[in-house]
A and B are shown apart, each in its own frame.
Chain A
Amino acid sequence: MIQNKEQWLEEASRKIKVPKELIARAFHEELEGNPAIDAPLEVPDIMDITYKYTYGGISRFFRELRDNQQLYGTKCTTCGTVWLPPRINCNECYAPTTWVKLGDTARIVTYTIVYYATSVFYGKTPYVCAFVKVDGADTLIMQNVFLKDVRQAKVGMKLKIQFKENRNGDMGDFWFVPAQEAL
């Protein structure tokens, strides 16, 4: 039996970063019941690592997004393929690429609508995830498309890029909306 329930809840809450009430609810039987000595015993836990990671050779892509609201791809110096997501070399030619400015229009090649999301996106459903072809790029990039009604999503739908007001230098800095809605 847990000796000091309040202290156990406080320690658990600090450890797994979940409010005490929710932990108390999840562990109701262990806290308030009288489970047998050999009944399965569950414990709260979390796996948590912090990072300071590098974008390496494609750092410029994220600086252009963050500082200049500009989408860039990279062009293979040998076959001319324009990559988006960008890469600093080509996996067909094993040759370097150079940076190229891309347009601000795109279209949906395929999409889906997420109604049941991971913990991270809890409360944000439904939303559209799509592979879009940005004008000027040869490959597709995965991005969110924001629509007044998610059911309007269609293959071939014309899109326009929109940038977040306070940008962080990550993929959340931009998204797409239907071309006719963007002014």
Chain B
Amino acid sequence: MNKVGIVGIGTTQFKARWIDKTYYELAYDAAKLALEDAGIGKKDVGGVVYGIYNEFFERQFMPDVYIHNYIGMGGKPSVRVATGGATGGAAVFVAWSWIAAGLYDTVMVLGVEKATDNYNYTVGHPTPETLKAILFSGDMTFENPMGLTAAASYALPLIAHINKYGTPTERQMAMVSVKNHKNAMNNPIAQSPKLLTVDDVLNSKMITYPFKFYDNCLYSEGASAIILASEDKAKALTDNPAWISGVGLSLDKAFAGERDDMTIFTSSQYAGRDAYAMAGIKHPRTELDFAELHDAFTGAEILSYEAFNLCGPGGGGALIEDGVVEMTGDLPVSPSGGLIGCGHAVGATGVMQTGEAALQVQGRADKRQVKNARVGLVQSIGGPATAWTAAMIIERIDTVKAKPAAQKKARRPGTRRT
């Protein structure tokens, strides 16, 4: 397999509504930013992988074909990925495979979402209609009619976990909300930068038990693009590329009632296992310098610590309580603010997170820079009850890593080690 680098990153503002842009105008803005960042033109792009989640959001089936035209890529290879909330991450996975296979030298990943053109006229607000659009993703015969919501889909495994381990507590979940809103204050594209207290979160109104208002991410509109390149191309374009050294993708049983254990994010466990193996990571808790996790809801971030083996089963709550995942801790999680702080422009989210991880290892993350960030994990979750996960290890390989635990073996990205 060929090595795959990240050589260009461009993300628009994530915000509640881009009333002055259509989805293809937004996509264009991110594409332009990423091309400029890479120092290349559209003629240099070998193909484009689109991440766009929901037809009812965009008010358009096959929205990718019109974006491809709009950004001047007509005639080039292209495919759209739609894997629910994991759309952005899975789009990165597909683009990675095109370069790893040697098909193209340069591939653009372009994620975009217009989530709030939906509108509920009774309430005078988009959200209930946006939720309705999402719920067409629940099995239409057996699950959609039950009144499930995206939050409920995460709450079901979470309540099972709380029943088994007693954690995470509502206070631990609130601490994740405080952290991610606060991290977002260092991120100029973030939708919800806020200084909150744990009590602010605990006292906010109940949305879906046990998630209160501030435990939820908000719907965002935005676009994010990254340019992936083969090793030769990446080295020619920049002396400071980020490398995708491991990838993993898993789709667990979507009828969650068939699962053996409801308390584990199994898809994250499998995607993480594969990404770690490819990147040669044996002890993620010490080898990772940071992570950008899919905190669609606070409890999901905590269960993700466990799924990615950053702690044992039931130990996730302690990681936030002990400050490990804070910017001041030794494994900061979601320096960007994550979905809760930065926003969740679904198809764009996983692309944005991958770009954020690349900025971290390149030392370009400005105020949200994690010191000596060399290896980071990206997680993108989607589907009913977290059925999908795409995971990526993003790292910088110019020098020997600073952490002794990681020095046991020299690693080359793109080399599977078993």
B is bound to A = yes
Chain A CB within 8 A of B186 CB? no
Residues in chain B near residue A127, CB distance under 8 A: 147
Contact stretch, chosen from A1-9, A18-26, A63-71, A93-101 = A18-26
A139 touches B257 (CB 8 A): yes
Residues in chain B near residue A25, CB distance under 8 A: 121, 124
Chain A CB within 8 A of B207 CB? yes
Selected contact of A114 from candidates B120, B124, B145, B208, CB within 8 Å: B208
B131 touches A47 (CB 8 A): no
Residues in chain B near residue A19, CB distance under 8 A: 121
A111 touches B207 (CB 8 A): no
Selected contact of A119 from candidates B120, B142, B257, CB within 8 Å: B120
Q: Chain A contact residues (Cβ within 8 angstroms of B): what range?
A: 35 or more
A111 touches B255 (CB 8 A): no
* A25, A47, A124, A127 pick with most chain B CB within 10 angstroms: A47
Residues in chain A near residue B20, CB distance under 8 A: 40
Chain A CB within 8 A of B129 CB? yes
Contact stretch, chosen from B154-162, B268-276, B319-327 = B154-162
How many B residues have CB within 8 A of the partner chain? Answer: 43
Beyond A26-B119, A45-B59, A155-B163, is A116–B141 a contact (Cβ under 8 Å)?
no
Residues in chain B near residue A55, CB distance under 8 A: 141
Chain B CB within 8 A of A11 CB? no
Chain B CB within 8 A of A170 CB? yes
Beta-carbon contacts of A151-173 to B below 8 Å, as 1s and 0s? 00001000000000000001110
Chain B CB within 8 A of A102 CB? no
B19 touches A142 (CB 8 A): no
Chain B CB within 8 A of A89 CB? no
CA distance A110 to B210 in the complex (A): 12
Chain B CB within 8 A of A118 CB? yes
CB distance from B408 to the nearest CB of A (A): 39
CA distance A122 to B129 in the complex (A): 10
CA distance A113 to B135 in the complex (A): 16
Selected contact of B262 from candidates A26, A109, A113, CB within 8 Å: A109
Query: Which residues, 72 to 129 on A, are CB-close (under 8 Å) to B?
Result: 84-85, 109-122, 124, 127, 129
Beta-carbon contacts of B147-175 to A below 8 Å, as 1s and 0s? 11101100111011001000000000000
Residues in chain B near residue A42, CB distance under 8 A: 19
A129 touches B255 (CB 8 A): no
Chain A CB within 8 A of B66 CB? no
CA distance A131 to B262 in the complex (A): 10
Chain B CB within 8 A of A31 CB? no
B145 touches A129 (CB 8 A): no
CA distance A170 to B144 in the complex (A): 11
A131 touches B128 (CB 8 A): no
CB distance from B26 to the nearest CB of A (A): 13
Residues in chain A near residue B155, CB distance under 8 A: 112
A110 touches B208 (CB 8 A): no
CA distance A117 to B128 in the complex (A): 6
B159 touches A110 (CB 8 A): yes
Residues in chain B near residue A111, CB distance under 8 A: 156, 159
Chain B CB within 8 A of A141 CB? yes
* B132, B134, B135, B255 pick with most chain A CB within 10 angstroms: B255
A131 touches B156 (CB 8 A): yes
CB distance from B126 to the nearest CB of A (A): 10
Beyond A40-B19, A85-B255, A119-B131, is A143–B159 a contact (Cβ under 8 Å)?
no
A110 touches B207 (CB 8 A): no
CB distance from A24 to the nearest CB of B (A): 10
CA distance A53 to B141 in the complex (A): 10
CB distance from B299 to the nearest CB of A (A): 11
Query: Which residues, 179 to 228 on B, are CB-close (under 8 Å) to A?
Result: 205-209
Selected contact of A122 from candidates B128, B142, B255, CB within 8 Å: B128
User: Which B residue's beta carbon lies closest to that of A22?
Assistant: B121
Chain A CB within 8 A of B143 CB? yes
- For this complex, 8 residue pairs linking A to B, each with C-beta atoms less than 8 Å apart, are A22-B122, A26-B119, A26-B121, A110-B156, A116-B207, A119-B129, A140-B257, A141-B257
Excluding A26-B124, A117-B149, A171-B141, 7 further A-B contacts by CB distance (< 8 Å) are A115-B207, A117-B147, A118-B149, A119-B129, A139-B257, A140-B256, A142-B148
Residues of B within 8 A of A (CB): 19-20, 56, 59, 119-124, 127-129, 131-132, 134-135, 141-143, 145-149, 151-152, 155-157, 159-160, 163, 205-209, 255-258, 262
